[in-house]
Structure 1
Amino acid sequence: MAAKATLLDIATKLNITTSTVSRALNDNPRISKATKKAVLKAAKELNYQPNNIAAALRRGKSHLLGVIVPTADRAFFSSVIRGIEEISNKLNYQVIICQSYDDYDKEVETINALTNARVDGIIVSISKKTVNTDHFQKAIDKGIPVILFDRTSEKLNVNQVMIDDYRGAYEVVSHLIDQGCKRIAHFTSPVKISIYKERLRGYVDALENHGIPYDEDLVVESNLQLEDGRISMQKLLDKKISVDAVFSSSDYAAMGAMQILKEKNIKIPEEVALAGFANEPFTSFTDPTLTTVDQLSLDMGHATAEMFFKQLNDSENGHSKVQKTILKPKLIIRQTSLRKKNIK
C-alpha cells in the first residue's frame, strides 16, 4: 500500500513551505489565489487526504458529532438521526452514526472510539443493559458534551431530550377506558430503563384515577419484540386471564398480540382492543390499523441537535447550564381501539 501523501509532499512538489501549504488548504486570506490554486491542484494529483484528528487538535474543534443509537434500522431511531443531521449539516457538522445493539460492552467501546476520534460531542440513547454510566462520565470529564435522548439516566448530570412517556401512556390507557375497557393488560420490559418505568407508571395511574384496581396478573414482561408479543398474548389466554384490551409499550409486541388474537378468531376491537407505542410506519397499514402514541422522532432529533449546539455555544461563553426538554407525545387513535359503537 502506498504511503499517504502529506503536507510535506505537496510543499516539496511546489518548492514552498508546509506552513504555506497548510494556510492555502485552509483558505487563509494571506495566501495568494495563484498559490492556493497550485496547492489544491497538487493535493488532488497526490491524492492528499487531510488528517482530521490532527486538524481538530490544531483548531480545537473537529466539527464531528457522534450519535449512538441501540439500532439504526428502527424507524424511530432513523428518524431521530435524520433530525440531528438536518440541524448539524446546516452548521457544517458531520455526524458519525454508531449502534450499540443494546450491548453494554459495545456501548463502552463506541464511547471510547468517539472520544479518540476527537468528536465535539456525543448524542446517545443508552442501551437497555446499561446500569453503570462511568464510560459516559469519562467522556464528560475530558470536556466532551454528552446529550441523552429518549432512553436517559438520572445518574448523569447532562442535557436530556425525551417525550413525556408517562403522559403518553396515561392518555392511551384513559382512551381505552373511555372505550369501555376495564381489564387492560400491559406489555412492558423487565429492564426498567426510564421510558418503560414511566409508561408503566402512566398505565397504573390511569387505572387508579378511573377507579379500576391494578392487577399485577395483567402486567406481562418481555423484550417487546414481535415474537414476545405473541408469547405474552398467548400466556394471558392460556392462563384464562380475562382481558378486554392490551396496551403495549412497543408497537412490535402489540403487532404480535394482534397476530395471536386473529389466529384465535378473537375480534379486534370488539372483544379485545389494542394499543401500542412509537407510531412505527407499519401501524397505519395493519388490519385493523393500530392505535399508538407518536414519539415525535423528527422533532426529538431537531431538539437534541439544537441542545448540543446551544451547550457548545454556552460553554464557550461560560454560561453552561444543564437542561431537560420534554416533548408532548401525540395519541394516534385508529381502528384497534375504537369499540364505542360496540358497547351495549
Structure 2
Amino acid sequence: MGKQAEITIHDIAKKLGISASTVSRALNNNPLISKATQAKIKETAAKMGYRPNTMAANLRTRKTNTIGVIVPLINRHFFSSVISGIEDVAYNSGFAVTITQSNDSFEKEEKIAQTLYSNRVDGVIVSIGMETTKFNHLKHFSERNIPLVFFDRVVDEIEAHKISVDDFNGGFKATQHLIEQGAKKIAHIGGPLNLNIYRKRLDGFCAAMKKAGLEVDRQMLLHNSLTRTDGTNAIKKLLKNPQKPDAIFCANDTTALSVIIYLVENGIKIPEDIMVVGFSNEPFSEVVTPSISTIRQPGFEMGQKAAELIIEQIKQKNQPSLFQNIVMPTELIIRQSSFKKKG
C-alpha cells in the first residue's frame, strides 16, 4: 500500500471551493477572515489530517520557537528538576524545549552544540560537563547573537546570564555542621577542580575548618568524577591513611551513598564512627538507611529563572548591555548519617 500524500492548504481549498490564500489566512487566525469561516476551515483541515509546515514557516521568520538544553546527566534529580522548571516557563510562553545530555563528555557536548546550532534553536541553556575545559563550541552561539544562559556549572570566559547556587556557603554549612557534631578529622571527596562549583565547595569546606581552628589534611582531600565507583575507591583510600577521618563531606549524594554502602559493609558505624554529608538532595538520600544529610539546591526555581532569562533575550533580539550573575541559596538538611548530638 502506497504512502498517502501530505495534505496541503490547496487540498483544503479545493475541498471547500475557496482560495488557498483564504485557507492560509484562516489557519493563521487572520482577522480579515470571519470567525465562522475560520472555524469551518480549521474543522475541515483537522478532518483531512492537515499538518502545518512549521519548517517552512521557521525559514520565513528565522525563528523555531525552540530552546536547546544541554545537561550533563538527565537521570540526576537536580538536573531533571532544572529541566522541569525550564519546561514550565517555556511551555507557557509558547516555546518547545529540546533536551540533550552530554554524559559529562566534552566530545559529546561539542557535537550536541553543533546539532542545536544547525537546527536553528532560538537559544541554549547549558550546564557544562566534567570534561569540558575548552569553550569554542559555546562561544559560537554568543558570537552569532544566539542567546546563551549557563546554570550550575557556568563558564567564566563567556559573557552570558549565569545562574548558580551558593556552593561556597553550601560547603561551609555542611562542614560546620560536622564540626558542631564533634568531628575533628574531616575528609572531603570533591569533583574535578576545572569546574568552579567544586572549587567553591572546597573553599567553603576549608573556610569552615579554618574558622573552627582545625587543620585541613591534604591527604584527606580527594577529587574525582563523583560516580559510585569513584566514591567507593575514595573511601578505600581514605581508610588506608594513617589518620582516618571521623567525618566526610562529599560533593554529591551519589558519592555519599557509595561511601555509606562501603562503610556499612565493612562494619563501620554511621554516624558513630564516621559521619557523612552529601550535596544535592537526591530523592534516594531520604529513603536509604541511614538517611543522608545533604545540601538542597533549588533546581526547579533555577530552571524557571533560566527559561525566563533566555526567552527575554530571544524576544529582545539583541544581547543585554548587562548580564546577570544570579546566586541562589542552599539549605542544609540534617538526617541520620551525620546527626550525633543536638546543637
Given the alignment of the two structures, is residue 37 of structure 1 paired with residue 57 of structure 2, yes or no?
no
Is the Cα contact below 8 Å between 2:148 and 2:160 reproduced in 1? yes
The aligned residue for residue 253 of structure 2 is 251
Change (3 A) 1:101 1:9: farther
Given the alignment of the two structures, is residue 177 of structure 1 paired with residue 179 of structure 2, yes or no?
yes
| Deviation digits for residues 287-327 of structure 1 (CA, Å, limit 9, x no counterpart) | 121110001111211221222233345x3588542111100
Change (3 A) 1:90 1:192: same
Greater Cα shift, 93-102 or 153-162? 93-102
Q: How does 1:235-314 map to 2 (within 5 A)?
A: 235-313=237-315
Change (3 A) 1:21 1:140: farther
Please state how far the C-alpha of 1:42 moved relative to its aligned partner.
4.2
| Deviation digits for residues 161-200 of structure 1 (CA, Å, limit 9, x no counterpart) | 1101111001110111111111111101235211111111
The aligned residue for residue 334 of structure 1 is 335
List structure 1 segments (4+ residues) > 6 angstroms apart after TM superposition: none
Q: How does 1:181-260 map to 2 (within 5 A)?
A: 181-190=183-192, 192-260=194-262
Is the Cα contact below 8 Å between 1:111 and 1:136 reproduced in 2? yes
2:320 & 2:100 partners in 1: Cα distance?
A: 30
Given the alignment of the two structures, is residue 114 of structure 1 paired with residue 116 of structure 2, yes or no?
yes
1:76 & 1:237 partners in 2: Cα distance?
A: 30
2:103 & 2:23 partners in 1: Cα distance?
A: 43
Please state how far the C-alpha of 1:254 moved relative to its aligned partner.
0.7
2:221 & 2:5 partners in 1: Cα distance?
A: 61
The aligned residue for residue 156 of structure 1 is 158
Is the Cα contact below 8 Å between 1:290 and 1:335 reproduced in 2? yes
| Deviation digits for residues 127-158 of structure 1 (CA, Å, limit 9, x no counterpart) | 11122211222122332201010111101100
Secondary structure of 1:220's partner? strand
1:232 & 1:16 partners in 2: Cα distance?
A: 74
1:104 & 1:229 partners in 2: Cα distance?
A: 22
Please state how far the C-alpha of 1:274 moved relative to its aligned partner.
0.5
Change (3 A) 1:129 1:10: farther
| Deviation digits for residues 216-251 of structure 1 (CA, Å, limit 9, x no counterpart) | 100112221222212211111133432100000011
Change (3 A) 1:126 1:285: same
5+ residue gaps in structure 1?
Answer: none
Change (3 A) 1:32 1:82: same
2:311 is matched by which residue type in structure 1?
F
Secondary structure of 1:197's partner? helix
Secondary structure of 2:337's partner? helix
**Superposition RMSD in Å:** 2.2
The aligned residue for residue 323 of structure 2 is 322
1:4 is matched by which residue type in structure 2?
E
Paired-residue identity, %: 39
Change (3 A) 1:69 1:38: same
Instruction: Say how many residue pairs are matched.
Output: 341
Secondary structure of 2:99's partner? strand
Is the Cα contact below 8 Å between 2:313 and 2:319 reproduced in 1? no
Please state how far the C-alpha of 1:16 moved relative to its aligned partner.
4.2
Greater Cα shift, 283-292 or 151-160? 283-292
Given the alignment of the two structures, is residue 28 of structure 1 paired with residue 27 of structure 2, yes or no?
no
1:3 & 1:143 partners in 2: Cα distance?
A: 39
Change (3 A) 1:140 1:26: same
Secondary structure of 1:335's partner? coil
2:330 is matched by which residue type in structure 1?
P
The aligned residue for residue 88 of structure 1 is 90
